[in-house]
Amino acid sequence: MPFHDLLPILLGWMVAIVSPGPATLAITGSAMEGGRAPGLALAWGVVTGSAVWGLLAGLGLGAAMLSHAWIFALLRYAGAGYLGWLAWKSARAALRPGATRMARPVADGLRRVWARGALIHLTNPKAVLFWGAVFALAVPADAPVAVLWQVGLACLATSAVTLSAMALLFSAPPVARAYLRARRGFDAVFALLFALAALKILTAPLSAS
């Protein structure tokens, strides 16, 4: 696919992934609270989850999953439950006295942060539908498999660069200091937004449109 045809797809993809949602909320919160390493770990966890959904959509399994409503119902409740747990965790943090310094997790902690990012994306059934819509709109039906891989890998690379840049931006010292000064307020807002995201997953219709 020529780059001038691919560029609008990538620009639209970038706008979609930076729009407010559970993944961007978690990345900004993790970066502000823990710094650069956990922010990047969570961002790459999200990218990993996106890669799984992209592969499933590329193989045509997204349509197969859509025909089995129980799979999407299971993912819906799992995703809402996980976001609800994140909301509760943020609310509990908002009730604690303010911190005086940033936390720097050890390597095991970074693996857990990465898994958290992957879980946020893997428990969102809309992700595979979004991938399927991108492939349907961007890749002609008679296109070779190589074009499908080109679009998929280009979108993943865009996600990796964009979400990593977001993690680096929100882990910058001025942003981290602002978070420390108003940590409890930030955590309260995160709790509310995670709860709203869980509610949205529970109530939004699951369709490819």
Judged against a pLDDT cut of 60, whether residue 107 lies above it is answered with no
159 located within any domain: yes
> The pTM is what?
0.76
206 located within any domain: no
Report helix angle 126-138 to 3-18, nearest 10: 160
Mean of pLDDT over the chain: 79
208 located within any domain: no
In the structure, what pLDDT confidence band is assigned to residue 183 with cuts at 50, 70 and 90? Answer: confident
> Do residues 32 and 182 touch, judged by C-beta distance below 8 A?
no
CA dist 168 → 3, 23, 64, 152, 208 (Å):
28, 15, 38, 24, 33
Find the domain containing 179 and state its range: 3-201
207 located within any domain: no
Task: Give dist(CA 208, CA 190) in Å, integer.
Answer: 28
The pLDDT of residue 5: 76
DSSP 98-145: PPSS-----HHHHHHHHHHHHHHHHT-THHHHHHHHHHHHHS-TT--H
Question: Which carries the bigger pLDDT value, residue 22 or residue 171?
Answer: 171
121 located within any domain: yes
33 located within any domain: yes
38 located within any domain: yes
Number of structural domains (the chain) is 1
In the structure, what pLDDT confidence band is assigned to residue 106 with cuts at 50, 70 and 90? Answer: very low
Judged against a pLDDT cut of 50, whether residue 50 lies above it is answered with yes
Hey, which of 52-56, 105-109, 154-158, 188-192 has the most confident mean pLDDT? 154-158
* Predicted confidence (pLDDT) per residue in 57-103, tens digit: 877 765 666 566 666 677 677 767 777 877 887 787 777 765 544 44
139 located within any domain: yes
